[in-house]
């Protein structure tokens, strides 16, 4: 199990706080979920990187039961929470898997989506090819994930701190844990994987304002840089990171801009 999957599994219970805190990531996920439209012809729907299953269960709860919903999640404890949430919804099935190895049959999915997960893949090409493999020839896909310029305010302020406490080599390794693409890079990657299909990439930059503590509740869980900080340096590093983020304070709060990419694959034959 890689460090990111292990971290998500270990801190799975913390993700229930997002709904209460209305964090920027919760709001961004809600925006993505609201953009999903389930068409009548989608009989089998898959959520790759389904996490605690909130989006999956929300979509499935509006169905009569004849449409199948599949969740794929590599973090054991996240998947366990999804199973708990899905209890009683017979149209949902959950599988242990990842973007790099999706445990589904080829050309078996009518509609595939993923919300804020693809940037954690360890192999971009293989993952894109796996998504293309399991999607039917006339299937559709919506993939929402963060882009290259995500969190530029925090990155600018905290990079000198991480450089001090981690050193350049460890910082570079940590930054490489998350695959952040430009719009053009995403277009090239998925255009090749879904050759012959209609592939478009949209991007957005939404800035969210919160208190320092509000941001910190998710920062310590999500940021890959924090995984490799030596234990004996963690407390001092945390204080320095908080101090640097605090300098971003404005009358509206502390800003964090999410750079979101949305990869759309559509059936060219029509709706």
pLDDT at 233: 86
Phi-psi region of 201 (alpha: psi -120 to 50; beta: other; left: phi over 0): beta
**DSSP 3-state of 73:** coil
Mean pLDDT of the chain: 89
Spell out the residues 6+ positions from residue 203 whose beta carbon is closer than 8 angstroms to its own. 147, 183, 259, 260, 261, 262
Say which residue the tokens 């840089």 belong to.
225
CA separation for the pair 198, 206 (Å, rounded): 26
Task: Give the span between the Cα atoms of 46 and 93, in whole angstroms.
Answer: 9
What percentage of residues in the chain have a pLDDT greater than 90?
Answer: 67
The residue with greater pLDDT, 120 or 71, is 71
Taking 70 as the threshold, does the pLDDT of residue 3 lie above it? no
- pLDDT of residue 225 exceeding 70, the answer is no
Mean pLDDT value of segment 141-157: 95
* φ, ψ dihedrals at 83, nearest 5°: -65, -40
Averaged pLDDT, 193-210: 96
What is the DSSP code (8-state) at residue 250? B
Write down all domains in the chain, each with its CATH number in brackets: 3-150+179-209+255-266 (3.40.50.150)
- 218 pLDDT higher than 70: yes
Least confident span in 10-19, 142-151, 171-180 = 10-19
Contact 95/125 with Cβ under 8 angstroms?
no
Give dist(CA 40, CA 105) in Å, integer.
22
Q: Which residue is associated with the tokens 């969210």? A: 208
Write out the two tokens for 48.
């790759």
Could you list the beta-strand ranges (E) of the chain: 44-48, 68-72, 92-95, 109-115, 135-146, 198-210, 254-266
**The pairing of beta strand 44-48 with beta strand 109-115:** parallel
Query: pLDDT-derived band of residue 271, with 50, 70 and 90 as boundaries?
Result: very low
Split at pLDDT 50, 70, 90, the class of 38 is: very high
> Is pLDDT at 270 greater than 50 in this prediction?
no
* Spatial CA neighbour of 13 closest among 63, 85, 87, 62: 85
């Amino acid at each position: 199990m890689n460090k990111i999957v292990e971290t998500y599994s270990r801190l799975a219970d913390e993700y229930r706080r997002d709904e209460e805190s209305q964090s920027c990531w919760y709001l961004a996920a809600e925006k993505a979920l609201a953009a999903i439209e389930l068409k009548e012809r989608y009989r089998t729907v898959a959520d790759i990187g389904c996490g605690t299953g909130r989006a999956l269960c929300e979509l499935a709860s509006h169905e009569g039961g004849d449409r199948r919903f599949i969740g794929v999640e590599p973090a054991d404890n996240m998947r366990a929470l999804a199973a708990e949430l899905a209890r009683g919804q017979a149209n949902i099935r959950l599988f242990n898997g990842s973007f790099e190895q999706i445990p589904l049959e080829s050309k078996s999915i009518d509609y595939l989506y993923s919300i804020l997960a693809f940037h954690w893949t360890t192999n971009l090409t293989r993952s894109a090819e796996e998504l293309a493999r399991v999607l039917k020839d006339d299937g559709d896909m919506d993939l929402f994930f963060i882009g290259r310029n995500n969190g530029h305010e925090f990155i600018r302020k905290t990079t000198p701190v991480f450089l001090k406490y981690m050193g350049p080599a460890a910082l570079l390794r940590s930054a490489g844990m998350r695959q952040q693409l430009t719009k053009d890079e995403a277009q090239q990657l998925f255009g090749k994987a879904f050759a012959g299909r209609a592939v478009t990439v949209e991007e957005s930059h939404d800035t969210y304002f919160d208190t320092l503590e509000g941001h910190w509740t998710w920062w310590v869980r999500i940021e890959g840089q924090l995984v490799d900080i030596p234990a004996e340096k963690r407390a001092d590093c945390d204080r320095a990171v908080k101090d640097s983020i605090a300098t971003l304070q404005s009358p509206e709060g502390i800003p964090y801009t999410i750079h979101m990419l949305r990869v759309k694959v559509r059936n060219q034959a029509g709706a």
